[in-house]
Structure 1
Amino acid sequence: MRNRMRPSNARDGGDRLKLHRHDLRADGRDYTVITLRPGTRVRFSTNFHHETWHILSDLHGALLLSRLLWGLSFQRRPGTVVLIDRRFICPNPFDAEQGSPIALVPADVTHLPARSGRLLIRGLPVPREARGTVRWQTWGLDAAVREWRDQRDGGTWWQRWRPHEDVRAAEVTNPGGLVTVRASSSLLRSWAVSVATMHDHAHVRATPREA
């Protein structure tokens, strides 16, 4: 079938992964909307707990999300948004409530009011022809992850000075059913490393063997 992705592409979450680009207009603003390609084997969900919105996925989803955040931090085109639409959203595992679509917004170059976000979701029906395919560049992420792990394992992470991330524009909200993650470029990169290393702290519960 023409629209069916090859298995290697569907599971790919590495550097230079392929994404779709859409040129949309919402509430008088032009947006470049980046989406996952149909057939991408990843699923996310969202829930609200302890007064905080959470994005949920598995290990593969976390690694893909980290690359979306890292690549987005280097975008300089005004109006760029990464949108994880309803095709990739499942009910959450806690109360089976349907998750919300997710928008990743680079605060340095993009302003996404709640009304505009809702219009973008409506303007992206499935299926929809993409305007093009982009290669999502995430050079530097793997090196940043290795550096973080080396410093953590060597106990030197606290000795290295780094400029503080710009947190002034950071927010995670859900205006009108769209979970919106908005942050500066420096904070998006910091979050990308944190998300990429989340599984370092995962614990697998052993199942007792039968006698």
Structure 2
Amino acid sequence: MPHNGHDGPSSTWSRRGAVRQEHFRTTPKREAGISGDAPPTHPYDNVKLHRRTLLLDGRRYTVLGLRPAAAERFAVNHFHGTWHIVTHTAGSHLLAALLWGLSYQRTPDTILVVDRPFLDANPFDAQPSPPIVVVPVQTTPFGDGAARDLRRKLPLGPSEGTVRLHAHGLAAALTDSRAWFAARPPQNYHGYDQRHMRPVIRQRAGLLVLPGTADWLREWAVQIGGLNAEAHRGPYAPRGMDYDDIHEDFSLEVQVFADYRARVTAARLAREQLPDEVRTGQDETGQTAEVWSRGTEIRAHMRRSTAARRRRTAKSGSAAPS
């Protein structure tokens, strides 16, 4: 791999037959406290992304996005004044790797966009999810004008090339996240303690914008990367659910469901099956409550059907001649 003389490897971006060098720094070993020659690797290290160039509010941006082969999906919900990114365990691990990798990129005016087809309707009331935009604020300004221009240009057009985003050091940080956070004392940024003064995550021009400094993006990555829905089961989520608030003012929560895809399907079916009298006779709040209730019933039916199918399969297998 070509090297540019700076810390960390570089990525080669191909553009219309030309070769253009852009630099995405990977984690230095001292960052995660790694020793030895074989540090642990993250399953989404070296993830390949599409790259596009867009003119937004008079500024030329490099826009990174997932490739069509990506199987991970995300949804966005706003509930009790908090934005929620909802996904499955693999989706949270991919998001963590993307945040970690972006925290080391050097190229100014670079953003990451998660849009359709990687967005589902939210798994609670099947409302459409707004696109997600991650902004490394130390290198990239992104105001309301840029947000409006980006929203008008979605969905993204053809790719101009690919870039590999590295997550070196994330796996090591996740092996003992408590120790990793303990080794990171608060650092002053423009005169304030950045652990307690974080940018507000909010919607801009129909986009959910996540602005963060390099340190914040890494902290969020470690918090999100440790989520594991399958390890946490309870009455509300018998298949498993995990979550974490990644913002000090509780303006964002990442929530992970083991049965995320089933929940998305159930919510969509519940909204499609709303009776006409509910659609015409109730406001959106009433319709949402009805979708939640019907979605819960549909998921219960799906679980019973799956259990019955497994019993039939097990019974037929045990009855087969030896």
After TM superposition, the score normalised by the length of structure 1 is: 0.81
2:63 is the alignment partner of 1:33: yes
Aligned pairs for 1:1-40 within 5 A:
14-40=44-70
Aligned to 1:192: 221
Asked if structure 1 preserves the Cα contact closer than 8 Å seen for 2:49 and 2:165, the reply is yes
Q: Secondary structure at the match of 2:204?
A: coil
Aligned residue for 1:171, secondary structure, equals coil
1:164 paired residue number:
186
Q: Report Cα offsets for 1:112-167 as digits up to 9, x if no partner.
A: 112312312332435x2211111111111001111316x4xxxxx88x44222635
Cα separation, 1, equivalents of 2:138 and 2:118: 27
Contact kept, 8 Å, 1:106 with 1:183, in 2: the verdict is: yes
Report the CA distance between 1:13 and its aligned residue: 5.3
For residue 200 of structure 1, report the CA deviation from its aligned partner.
6.9
Query: Which runs of 5 or more residues in structure 1 are unaligned?
Result: 1-11, 152-156
Shift of 1:39: 3.1
CA drift at 1:201: 8.2
Distance, in Å, in 1 between the alignment partners of 2:183 and 2:66 is 36
Instruction: Say how many residue pairs are matched.
Output: 191
> How far, CA to CA, are the matches of 2:201 and 2:111 in structure 1?
14
The 5-angstrom pairing of residues 117-196 of structure 1 reads: 117-125=147-155, 128-148=157-177, 151=179, 160-164=182-186, 166-167=194-195, 168-196=197-225
Are 2:138 and 1:108 aligned?
yes
Task: Report the Cα offset of residue 88 of structure 1.
Answer: 1.0
Q: What is the CA distance between 1:20 and its match in structure 2? A: 0.5
Are 2:97 and 1:67 equivalent residues in the alignment?
yes
| Letter paired with 1:164 | P
TM-score (normalised: structure 2) = 0.54
Alpha-carbon distance in 1 for matches of 2:49, 2:155:
17
* Structure-2 change in CA distance of 1:79 and 1:172 (3 Å): same
Cα separation, partners in 2 of 1:100 and 1:79, compared to 1, 3 Å:
same
Give the one of 106, 111, 123 matched to 1:76. Answer: 106
**Cα distance in structure 1, aligned partners of 2:230 and 2:155:** 38
Secondary structure, counterpart of 1:48 in structure 2: strand
Q: Does 1:94 align with 2:116?
A: no
- For 2:143 and 2:175, locate their aligned partners in 1 and report how far apart those are by CA, in whole Å: 36
| Kept in 1: contact 2:116–2:155 (CA 8 A) | no
Q: Which has the higher contact order (CA 8 A, sep 6+)?
A: 1
Structure 2: unaligned runs, 5 residues or longer? 1-41, 188-193, 240-302, 309-322
Structure 1 residue 98 displacement after superposition = 0.8
SS in 2 for 1:67: helix
Counting aligned pairs with the same residue, the percent is: 39
Letter in 1 for 2:142: L
SS in 1 for 2:163: strand
The CA deviation at 1:185 is 0.6
Name the residue aligned to 2:278: none
Q: Which of structures 1 and 2 has the bigger CA Rg?
A: 2
Partner of 1:181, secondary structure, is strand
Contact 2:100 2:221 in 1 (8 A): yes
User: Could you say what secondary structure the match of 1:91 adopts?
Assistant: coil
